[in-house]
């Protein structure tokens, strides 16, 4: 049985898989999580029975699954957040607004080599940070990343629409294929601007500094508390999409999905994702029970 999808959910999935393997030595669970898009594609072509996702499926992806006769159920299992960060000791600002992020990492930033080069654009789109003259390198997850897609849609997109530009990251951003590569790239640069999920960045806290995001309530740092209570502007839900038909014919798929739900309820030891509150966690359990018992695919 194959689990694919968001690398943000890899620590949680791996933690659950370790316990599951010890309790079920004959079960075979293969985990390969390199991005939400890749995971959903594997789910839709039948390669994977479970896909972790840091965003909702797109309409195109739903149609792809339907063409293969697959109607997955969406199960919210935890909360996470988009986190912008730099290396410790960096001269990068302590806080950025959406306008600052657009000016630094959006399509109009192409070719800019220093943070200060984008001050003109920033001033026109609501930028508030004091941008240093340090060299600028933007480091981002690869094209298949749900985290990257959320930055493009939720942070860059609204401003790009107003300015009639492409809602995409600057094409000269450094794209990395994995979280481990990202950390190495960030540490090479004195003042990089990088982004990843909170669950990904938290284990790096001895080497990197997170950047607060300015919202209606001012600058809010990404912490477990601010993500859980919603005060951090870029918090987000995390999901597993599961093929219930596969679970009905595969005891391993059914049991591992249940183990993921239960593991997520306590956030999985060392996973860094933020556990749902008890009511939301119970809703996910109920949604999964309904999906496999009577075919109710409402999900959560």
DSSP-based three-state secondary structure for 216: coil
Does residue 270 carry a pLDDT above 80?
no
Average pLDDT over residues 147-155: 93
Average pLDDT, the chain: 93
pTM recorded for the entire structure: 0.80
User: pLDDT tens, 200-214?
Assistant: 899 999 999 999 999
Does residue 57 carry a pLDDT above 90?
yes
Evaluate the CA torsion angle 202, 234, 148, 127 in order and state its sign: negative
Percentage of the chain modeled with pLDDT above 90: 82
User: pLDDT tens, 61-79?
Assistant: 999 999 999 999 999 999 8
Exposed/middle/buried for residue 104 (C-beta within 10 Å: 0-12, 13-18, 19+):
buried
Q: Which residues contact 10 (CB under 8 A, 6 or more apart)?
A: 31, 33, 52, 179
Burial 170-203 (b: 16+ CB within 10 A, else e): beebbbbeebeebbebbeebebbbbbbbbbbbbe
Q: Are strands 274-275 and 73-87 parallel, antiparallel or unpaired?
A: antiparallel
The pLDDT-based confidence of 100 (bands split at 50, 70, 90) is very high
User: pLDDT tens, 8-27?
Assistant: 898 899 989 999 999 999 99
Does residue 133 carry a pLDDT above 60?
yes
Domains and CATH numbers, the chain: 2-79+237-293 (3.40.190.10), 81-235 (3.40.190.10)
Whole-angstrom distance between the N-terminal and C-terminal Cα of the chain?
23
Evaluate the CA torsion angle 123, 164, 139, 210 in order and state its sign: positive
Does residue 268 carry a pLDDT above 50?
no
């Amino acid at each position: 049985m194959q689990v694919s999808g968001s690398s943000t959910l890899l620590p949680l999935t791996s933690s659950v898989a370790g316990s599951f393997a010890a309790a079920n030595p004959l079960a075979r669970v293969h985990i390969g999580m390199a991005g939400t898009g890749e995971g959903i594609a594997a789910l839709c072509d039948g390669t994977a029975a479970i896909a972790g996702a840091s965003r909702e499926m797109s309409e195109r992806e739903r149609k792809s699954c339907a063409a293969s006769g697959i109607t997955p159920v969406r199960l919210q299992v935890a909360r996470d957040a988009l986190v912008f960060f730099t290396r410790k000791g960096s001269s990068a600002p302590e806080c950025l607004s959406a306008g600052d992020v657009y000016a630094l990492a959006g399509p109009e930033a192409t070719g800019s080599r220093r943070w200060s080069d984008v001050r003109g654009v920033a001033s026109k789109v609501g930028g508030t940070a004091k941008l240093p003259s340090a060299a600028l390198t933007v480091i981002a997850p690869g094209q298949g990343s749900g985290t990257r897609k959320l930055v493009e849609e939720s942070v860059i997109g609204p401003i790009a629409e107003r300015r009639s530009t492409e809602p995409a990251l600057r094409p000269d951003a450094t794209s990395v294929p994995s979280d481990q590569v990202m950390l190495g790239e960030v540490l090479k640069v004195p003042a990089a601007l990088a982004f990843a999920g909170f669950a990904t960045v938290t284990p790096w806290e001895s080497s990197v500094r997170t950047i607060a995001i300015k919202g209606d309530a001012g600058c809010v740092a990404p912490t477990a508390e601010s993500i859980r209570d919603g005060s951090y502007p870029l918090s987000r839900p995390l999901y597993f999409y599961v093929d219930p038909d596969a679970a009905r014919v595969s005891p391993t798929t059914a049991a591992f999905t249940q183990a993921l739900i239960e593991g997520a309820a306590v956030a999985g030891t060392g996973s860094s994702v933020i556990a749902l509150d008890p009511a939301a966690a119970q809703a996910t359990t109920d949604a999964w029970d309904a999906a496999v018992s009577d075919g109710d695919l409402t999900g959560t």
